[in-house]
């Protein structure tokens, strides 16, 4: 019976119901947007780490994150290979350079130099060209996501990176960076020719572990090497993500906006449910006069809140999924996976239930005698 009364109360005033649903929908969409864009940014921040076929990352001491590392002596590679459990290891260079554009301007790029013989640290999906073409020297692989900044390059095009002419030998897909500078790839040899600072230095040593060995244990052995930081892939990925989340204020900004969405949604829902409750006090008094318990009254108002939450969430999710598709076309990455959907649904229900608590206290205090007053 309480369910029927709850639905009749809600749908009796469709305008108020619509306002409530719009409030919940706005809140849900804003939460999805903030969480989705944040997750998209953070996944891009560690995209090279997560997609590199190496279980261990070795950096200079106190290197903050992947995009701003410090170089160290390349001779450490021999020491790394001697550690039990290390199957093989490679150099990996990352340097910030300038690429001249076709219109005469220039754009900053993050040049990654890797070993094309192993492919470790290089692009993982090519739509044109090949990694092997880098072995010939002075070759470059550009990701599709860089086209808005660098122009629609094609295999065979010549580009100039820090006054060195390179030929585009491949087009990759899915390597969207976190910073404003796009990633481009070349061989270690070419990277050192373009940027002489790395002729006898490296930025990373990436090591693969012998099958059957625990990467954490191998990393612990490698930590005996002085003046270096050693991380497993998951540890370095998390370190990079935490840097951008905590050290730059990025996480706080997204969290505050998401919290504001919850507050706004709660206020809108609380106001409409409270108003509806006040207008139906006589009906609640009638229910109590004929024997309805406080639990039944509570159930009616909670049922209204849950209906508002479910309808508003469904509308918000639909809008969000459309936005995810549209954002992929504009270059903005929104990550909305089932765990995020579930979490936002729980927040929406909790938000509406919290708003209902404000209203239910007034309804529980109603005196059944008011029904018999003129």
Query: Which SS3 state, helix, strand or coil, does residue 102 take?
Result: coil
pLDDT at 2: 47
Q: Do 230 and 367 belong to one domain?
A: no
For residues 195 and 253, the model is more confident at: 195
Q: Do 261 and 359 belong to one domain?
A: yes
Q: Do 95 and 194 belong to one domain?
A: yes
Distance CA 113, CA 143 (A): 14
Distance CA 177, CA 180 (A): 8
Q: Do 352 and 320 belong to one domain?
A: yes
Q: Do 306 and 198 belong to one domain?
A: no
pLDDT tens-digit series, residues 273-303: 677 666 666 666 666 666 666 677 677 777 7
Q: Do 224 and 253 belong to one domain?
A: no
Asked if 129 contacts 170 with a C-beta cutoff of 8 angstroms, the reply is yes
Q: Do 279 and 168 belong to one domain?
A: no
Query: Which SS3 state, helix, strand or coil, does residue 95 take?
Result: strand
Q: Do 257 and 242 belong to one domain?
A: no
Asked if 188 contacts 115 with a C-beta cutoff of 8 angstroms, the reply is yes
pLDDT tens-digit series, residues 296-311: 767 777 777 888 888 8
Confidence of residue 366 (pLDDT cuts 50, 70, 90): low
Q: Do 253 and 241 belong to one domain?
A: no
Helices of type H across the chain = 2-12, 14-45, 47-50, 76-82, 147-150, 188-194, 215-222, 233-242, 250-279, 281-289, 294-330, 338-364
What's the structural domain count of the chain? 2
Q: Do 257 and 328 belong to one domain?
A: yes
pLDDT tens-digit series, residues 202-216: 999 999 999 999 999
What residue numbers bound the domain in which 350 lies? 2-44+249-372
pLDDT at 68: 87
Q: Do 257 and 342 belong to one domain?
A: yes
pLDDT tens-digit series, residues 312-343: 899 999 999 988 877 665 666 788 889 989 98
Average pLDDT, integer, range 23-41: 85
Confidence of residue 1 (pLDDT cuts 50, 70, 90): very low
Q: Do 270 and 346 belong to one domain?
A: yes
Q: Which of 214, 247, 280 is the last residue of a domain?
A: 247
């Amino acid at each position: 019976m309480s369910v029927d009364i709850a639905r009749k109360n809600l749908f009796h005033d469709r305008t108020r119901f619509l306002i409530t649903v719009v409030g919940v929908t706005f809140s849900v969409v804003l939460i999805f947007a903030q969480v989705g864009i944040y997750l998209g940014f953070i996944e891009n921040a560690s995209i090279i780490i997560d997609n590199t076929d190496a279980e261990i990352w070795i950096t200079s001491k106190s290197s903050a994150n992947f995009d701003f590392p410090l170089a160290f002596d390349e001779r450490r590679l021999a020491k790394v290979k001697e550690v039990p459990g290390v199957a093989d290891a490679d150099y990996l260079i990352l340097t910030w350079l300038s690429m001249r554009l076709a219109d005469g301007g220039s754009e900053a790029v993050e040049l990654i130099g890797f070993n094309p013989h192993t492919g470790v640290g290089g692009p993982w999906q090519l739509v044109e060209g090949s990694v092997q073409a880098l072995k010939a020297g002075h070759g470059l692989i550009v990701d599709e996501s860089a086209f808005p900044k660098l122009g629609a390059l094609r295999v065979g095009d010549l580009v100039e990176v820090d006054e060195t002419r390179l030929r585009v030998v491949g087009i990759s897909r899915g390597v969207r960076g976190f910073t404003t500078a796009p990633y481009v790839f070349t061989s270690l040899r070419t990277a050192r020719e373009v940027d002489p600072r790395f002729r006898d230095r490296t930025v990373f040593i990436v090591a693969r572990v012998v099958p059957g060995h625990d990467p954490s244990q191998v990393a612990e052995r490698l930590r005996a090497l002085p003046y270096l930081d050693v991380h497993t892939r998951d540890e370095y990925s998390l370190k990079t993500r935490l840097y951008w989340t905590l050290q730059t204020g990025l996480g706080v900004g997204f969290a505050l906006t998401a919290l504001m969405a919850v507050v706004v949604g709660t206020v809108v829902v609380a106001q409409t449910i409270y108003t509806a409750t006040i207008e139906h006090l006589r009906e609640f008094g009638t229910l109590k006069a004929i024997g309805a318990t406080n639990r039944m009254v509570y159930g009616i108002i909670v049922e209204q809140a849950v209906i508002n939450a479910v309808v508003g969430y469904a509308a918000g999710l639909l809008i969000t999924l459309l936005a995810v598709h549209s954002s992929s076309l504009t270059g903005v990455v929104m990550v909305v996976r089932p765990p995020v959907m579930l979490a936002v649904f729980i927040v929406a229900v909790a938000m509406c239930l919290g708003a209902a608590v404000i209203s239910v206290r007034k309804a529980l205090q109603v005196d059944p005698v008011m029904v018999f007053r003129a």
